[in-house]
Structure 1
Amino acid sequence: MPNVFTTPPPLEPGSRIAVAAPSRPIDESMLDRACDRLRETFDLEPVVFESAHKDWEWLRDNPQARAEEIMNAFEDPTIRGIIAVTGGDDQIRLLKHLDPDRLTASPTRFYGYSDNDNLRLFLWNHGIVSYGATLHPTLTVDPAIHPYLERYLRRAFFQSSLGVVEPAPEWTDEWFDFDSGESREWHENSGRTWHGENRVTGRLWGGSFAIVKWHLQTNRYLPNPTDLDGTVLALETSEDVPLPREVRYTLRTMGERGLLERFDGVMMGRPRTFSPDLEWEPPEDYGEQLREEVLSVLDEYNPDATAVFDVEFGHADPNVPLPLGAKATLDPTVGRVRFE
């Protein structure tokens, strides 16, 4: 683990925030919608970089240019933050083009999740805290920004930490229909599920399950195993909705590599159970099955770990901008999650 983690300075009302596409692009109407919400709701001034106007073919063929743009944004003294337009499936190809010295010389708040967890794990290795939010879908879906999301996004933009993250009163994983613009169906939140009795605090490492799996497979961007001692593992299963046993297999390999035992805590995001491109139909008890699989591996490889499930981060809504690299406290005695 880096000796010192830096939380880049918060933004201020009127700050310039770079809008870039280090993964995939979004169409111009969504780009405009999200930028309008940055201005009108948060009083931030989006600075749209060239990549945000490029098509997927150009972005696919130019990973070095995408990496260069991110480094340029870090180095620009007029830019206080950088937000990715959306996720994707190839950002790991950018990492070899990044110069960590250029990033650490001027730490800047980076916002992204899903495929952008590739870049965020890279930043973690160099001691820079980053936040889980993107233009799309964070700032494009729903007729208005959900009040729960707005509350914690304001903290991620303008405060030093997220602080205590309360459970959301409701949740949904429905796809938002941009054509109709109608509200999605929301469900009452039944709360989080805790395992273990110990209060633990550690730096947050992880993110999207798929991205963590890629980093385990490539073994090029993982921290030293000892860097994970005493940390908190955060995982969310994204719109991929993997079979619960696939999550178990990956965690089991982490156990066999001597990695899983190093985490003092495990935090699982509320799983998404719907995506229009899924090739299988998740059961109604998908979340329960996922929890059972995770706990079965923890019982074998890390029985003393404290775990909490159905935390508000990831691809179900509403969510908080998960701060990788920040200190997370999991306190089962009072059922509290806190980030500092």
Structure 2
Amino acid sequence: MLPVFTTPPPLGSGDEIAVVAPSRPIEESKLQRACDRLRETFSLDPVIFETATKDWEWLRDNPEARAEDIMRAFEDPAVRGVVAVTGGDDQLRVLKHLDPDRLTSSPTRFYGFSDNDNLRLFLWKHGIVSYGAVLHPTVTVDPELHPYTERYLRRAFFEESLGVVEPSPEWADEWFDFETGDPREWRENDGRTWRGEETVTGRVWGGCFSIVKWHLQTERYLPDPGDLDGAVLALETSEDVPLPREVRYTLRAMGERGLLGRFSGVVVGRPQTHSPGLEWNPGDDYREQLRDEICAALDEYNPDATAVFDVEFGHCSPIAPLPLGAKVTLDPTVRRIRFQ
């Protein structure tokens, strides 16, 4: 049965926001930079929980403690929001240590993406809306917080919904250099690409492609298939930059499993292609390749689905913190994305 969804109450000026590390930690200098921006830009009071002070070896060896930090943050009556310091690659190990009753009894706004989409999909299954932002890189990068990111972070912090998410006028692909602090190269946004003509509304399920794939493989945290009827699938690719055909293969498996055809729409994040150490060259046409492969899977398993590509969420710059579990309307007639 589809859970009754709760959007946790928004934060207010001066409210406490718990800083936790459900995945990996970040350097103290970046943690300080992010906390300073939370205070100075958003007038929030960051409270650093235990996991955010630990190194990776300790976090790796203590998934139970990471789960406990999350639950304690949700239960703390003074805390109005919980934000992950960064992503990682093993948060799936944390989920079995979570008590859903401790989370649902005190629903709190959670902010995270990448590896934190593990927790966000867990919250989805238990009816809690969460938001796609982390301290690093969302809040730490660039000499000043990008105005587009700041605008939508303010909505995610202080408003009931994101409302209409407009395209950003510009985007950047390369990583920000913290040593030099030099501004990144920003490119003019050439817009979003739409597929289909039908306006659809549904709850958002999905997130980072790698994490969605893990949940499909482990199965234990997936919602009942019927709970996805009419939902909107969100997908974005991380700095792993998967081969476009690998994304199609996963969508094909979802189609054969009877899942892909249940969605009324699909929202695809603008892919990041700059990734040091990548063993293959995505090329300048990676976005087009990825779009073509996703459309091929939809053509076979869900030809009537409305889809929109190159949306500002996930591993891209700038971003709007996509809320999993929230209702979204995709309107291709006016090329608009609106969250309720």
Structure 2, unaligned runs of 5 or more: none
Runs of 4+ in structure 1 off by over 2 angstroms are none
Is this contact kept in 2: 1:22–1:51, CA < 8 A? Answer: yes
What SS class does the counterpart of residue 283 from structure 1 fall into?
Answer: coil
Aligned to 1:286: 286
TM-score when scaled to structure 2?
0.99
Cα offset, 1:278, TM superposition: 1.0
Read off the aligned partner of 2:258 and give its amino acid letter.
G
Aligned to 1:227: 227
RMSD: 0.6
Q: State the alpha-carbon separation in 1 of the partners of residues 268 and 159 from structure 2.
A: 24
Is this contact kept in 2: 1:173–1:315, CA < 8 A? Answer: no
Aligned to 1:40: 40
Aligned to 1:130: 130
Read off the aligned partner of 1:277 and give its amino acid letter.
G
What SS class does the counterpart of residue 315 from structure 2 fall into?
Answer: coil
Q: State the alpha-carbon separation in 1 of the partners of residues 218 and 242 from structure 2.
A: 20
Is this contact kept in 2: 1:18–1:48, CA < 8 A? Answer: yes
Number of equivalent positions:
340
Is this contact kept in 1: 2:3–2:126, CA < 8 A? Answer: no
Read off the aligned partner of 2:310 and give its amino acid letter.
D
Aligned to 2:49: 49
- The answer to whether the aligner puts 1:170 opposite 2:163 as a matched pair is no
- Closer, same or farther in 2 for the Cα pair 1:220/1:3, shift >3 Å? closer
What SS class does the counterpart of residue 136 from structure 1 fall into?
Answer: helix
Q: State the alpha-carbon separation in 2 of the partners of residues 4 and 265 from structure 1.
A: 21
Q: State the alpha-carbon separation in 2 of the partners of residues 278 and 97 from structure 1.
A: 33
Cα offset, 1:220, TM superposition: 1.0
Aligned to 2:339: 339
Is this contact kept in 2: 1:10–1:160, CA < 8 A? Answer: yes
Aligned to 1:119: 119
Cα offset, 1:316, TM superposition: 1.2
Is this contact kept in 1: 2:234–2:266, CA < 8 A? Answer: yes
Cα offset, 1:100, TM superposition: 0.4
- The answer to whether the aligner puts 1:270 opposite 2:280 as a matched pair is no
Q: State the alpha-carbon separation in 1 of the partners of residues 81 and 204 from structure 2.
A: 20
Is this contact kept in 2: 1:2–1:126, CA < 8 A? Answer: no
Q: State the alpha-carbon separation in 2 of the partners of residues 282 and 329 from structure 1.
A: 31
What SS class does the counterpart of residue 275 from structure 2 fall into?
Answer: coil
Cα offset, 1:300, TM superposition: 0.4
Aligned-pair identity (%): 77
Aligned to 1:96: 96
Question: How big is each residue's C-alpha offset from its partner over 1:12-63, in whole Å with a ceiling of 9 and x where there is no partner?
Answer: 0000000000000001000000000000000000000111110000000000
Question: How big is each residue's C-alpha offset from its partner over 1:51-110, in whole Å with a ceiling of 9 and x where there is no partner?
Answer: 111000000000000001100110000000000000000000000000000000000000
Cα offset, 1:173, TM superposition: 1.3
Cα offset, 1:238, TM superposition: 1.1
Cα offset, 1:281, TM superposition: 1.0
Aligned to 1:31: 31
Q: State the alpha-carbon separation in 1 of the partners of residues 254 and 307 from structure 2.
A: 16
